[in-house]
Chains A and B, each alone.
Chain A
Amino acid sequence: MELTDNVLEIRDLVKDFPSVRAVNRVSFDIKRNTVHCLVGENGAGKSTLIKILTGATTRSGGSILLNGEAYTPHSTRDAKQHGISTLFQELNVVDQLTVEENLTLGMEDTTLGFLRKTDKINTMVNVMKSLEPSITPRQLVSTLSVAKKQIVEIAKAVATESDIIIMDEPTAAISESEIKRLFAIIKSLREKNVTVIYISHRLDEIFELGDYVTVMRDGKHIDTKPVSEIKDRSELVKMMIGKTVFEQYTPKEGECKDAILQVCNLSNHKLRDISFEVHEGEIIGFYGLVGAGKTELARAIYGVDPYEGEILFRGKKLPPFPDKVIAAGIALVPEERRSQGLFTILTIRGNVPVMNMRKISRNGFINAGQERKVTLDYIDKLRISTSSMEKEASKLSGGNQQKVVLAKCLFADADLLMLDEPTRGIDVGAKSEIYGIIRQLSKEGKSIMIFSSELPEVVNICDTIYLLYDGRMKATLRNGCDIDSEKILHIVTGGNVTSAADYRGSGDGGE
Chain B
Amino acid sequence: MIGGRMSNESFITLFMIGVLVVLFGVSCVIVPRFYLPRNMINLLTNNWYIIMLGIGVTFLLITGNFDMSVGGVIAMTGVLSVWFCQDATASQNALAVGLGLPYGVAIALALLCAMGIGAINAFFIARLKVPSIIITLGTMMIARGVAQIVAQGAQRNTSLPDVFGVLGGLTIPGMSVKLSVLVMAVLIVAAFVFEKKTVAGRRTYLIGANSVAARLSGVNVRRHLTSLFIISSLLAGITGILLSSEFKAGGASRAMGYEFDALVISLLGGVSIAGGFGSVLGMFVGAVILSVVTSAATGLLLSPDWQFTIKGVVTFIAILAQRFALDKRKG
Asked if A302 is at the interface (CB within 8 A of a chain B CB), the reply is: yes
- In the docked arrangement, what's the CA distance between A282 and B207, Å? 34
Q: Chain B residues with Cβ under 8 A from A248's Cβ? A: none
> Are A355 and B218 touching (Cβ within 8 A)?
yes
List the B side residues contacting A379 at CB < 8 Å: 1
Please choose the segment from A218-226, A306-314, A388-396 that sits at the chain B interface, where 4 or more of its residues have CB less than 8 A away. A388-396
Q: What 0/1 readout, one digit per residue, does chain A (344-355) give for beta carbons within 8 Å of chain B?
A: 111100100011
Among A334, A345, A361, A388, the residue within 8 A (CB) of B216 is A334
Cα A321 to Cα B217 in complex, Å, equals 11
* Chain A interface size, under 10 / 10 to 19 / 20 to 34 / 35 or more: 35 or more
The B178-226 residues at the A interface (CB cut-off 8 A) are 197-200, 202-203, 205-206, 209-210, 212-220
Within 8 Å by CB of B206, from A302, A343, A347, A387, lies: A343
Determine if B309 is an interface residue (Cβ-Cβ < 8 Å).
no
For the side of the interface on B, what is the size category?
20 to 34
Asked whether, in the complex, the Cβ of A302 is within 8 Å of the Cβ of B4, the reply is: no
CA distance A327 to B200 in the complex (A): 17
Asked if B89 is an interface residue, CB under 8 A from chain A, the answer is no
Binary A-proximity of B1-24 (CB < 8 A = 1, otherwise 0):
111110100000000000000000
Closest beta carbon of chain A to B99's beta carbon, Å:
39
The answer, yes or no, to whether B250 is at the interface (CB within 8 Å) is no
Q: Is A177 an interface residue (CB 8 A)?
A: no
Q: Interface residues of A: mostly helix, strand, loop or mixed?
A: mixed
A372 is an interface residue with CB less than 8 A from chain B? yes
- Nearest-CB residue, chain A, relative to B199: A357
Residue A332 is within 8 A (CB to CB) of chain B in the complex: yes
B229 within 8 A of A: no
Q: Does B56 contact A (CB under 8 A)?
A: no
Q: How far is the CB of A377 from chain B (nearest CB, A)?
A: 12
Within 370-402 of A, Cβ neighbours of B (below 8 Å) are at 372, 376, 379, 387-391
Contact B4 A389 (CB under 8 A): yes
Q: For A343, give its contact among B3, B197, B210, B218 (CB under 8 Å).
A: B210
Q: State whether A322 touches B218 (Cβ < 8 A).
A: yes
Q: Do residues A372 and B2 form an inter-chain contact, with CB atoms below 8 A?
A: yes
Query: Cβ of B276 < 8 Å from any Cβ of A?
Result: yes
A358: nearest chain-B partner, CB-CB: B199
B199 touches A361 (CB 8 A): yes
Contact A390 B199, CB 8 Å, known A302-B216, A346-B205: no
Q: Which of chain B's residues have a CB closer than 8 A to the CB of A341? A: 213, 216
Q: Report how far A362 CA is from B56 CA in the complex, Å.
A: 25
Assembled-state Cα–Cα distance A408/B219 (Å): 13
- Least CB separation from B201: chain A residue: A366
A-B contact count (CB 8 A): 92
B325 CB, min distance to chain A CBs, angstroms: 16
A332 contacts which chain B residues (CB < 8 A)?
A: 216
Shortest distance in angstroms between A491's beta carbon and chain B's nearest beta carbon?
30
> Does residue A364 face the partner (Cβ distance < 8 Å to B)?
yes
Closest-by-CB residue of B relative to A379 is B1
A304 near B: Cβ within 8 Å?
yes
Q: Are B218 and A326 in contact (CB under 8 A)?
A: yes
Inter-subunit contact A339/B210 (CB<8 Å)? yes
Contact A350 B205, beta carbon cutoff 8 Å: yes
- Given B7, B202, B209, which contacts A366 in the complex, CB threshold below 8 Å? B202
Interface string of B124-163 (1 = CB under 8 A from A): 0000000000000000000000000000000000000000
Does residue B66 face the partner (Cβ distance < 8 Å to A)?
A: no
Please name all residues of chain A whose beta carbon is closer than 8 Å to the beta carbon of B5 when the two chains form the complex: 388, 390
Among the interface residues A302, A368, A388, which one has the most CB atoms of the partner chain B within 10 A?
A388
How many Å lie between the Cα of A366 and that of B204 in the bound state?
Answer: 14
Pick the residue among A345, A354, A358, A390 that contacts B276 (CB under 8 A).
A345
Are B216's CB and A343's CB within 8 A?
A: no
The 9 closest A-B pairs by CB, nearest first: A390-B4, A388-B4, A326-B218, A343-B209, A323-B218, A357-B199, A355-B217, A354-B217, A323-B220
| Contact surface of A with B, Cβ cutoff 8 Å | 302, 304, 321-323, 326-327, 332, 334, 339-347, 350, 354-355, 357-358, 361, 364-366, 368, 372, 376, 379, 387-391, 408, 412
6 contacts between A and B (CB under 8 A): A342-B210, A343-B276, A346-B205, A346-B209, A347-B7, A364-B198
Q: Apart from A322-B217, A387-B4, what are 19 other A-B pairs with CB-CB below 8 Å? A: A304-B216, A321-B220, A323-B218, A340-B212, A343-B206, A343-B276, A346-B276, A350-B202, A350-B205, A354-B214, A357-B199, A364-B200, A366-B198, A376-B1, A388-B2, A389-B1, A389-B2, A391-B4, A412-B218
Which residues of B line the A interface, CB within 8 A? 1-5, 7, 197-200, 202-203, 205-206, 209-210, 212-220, 276-277
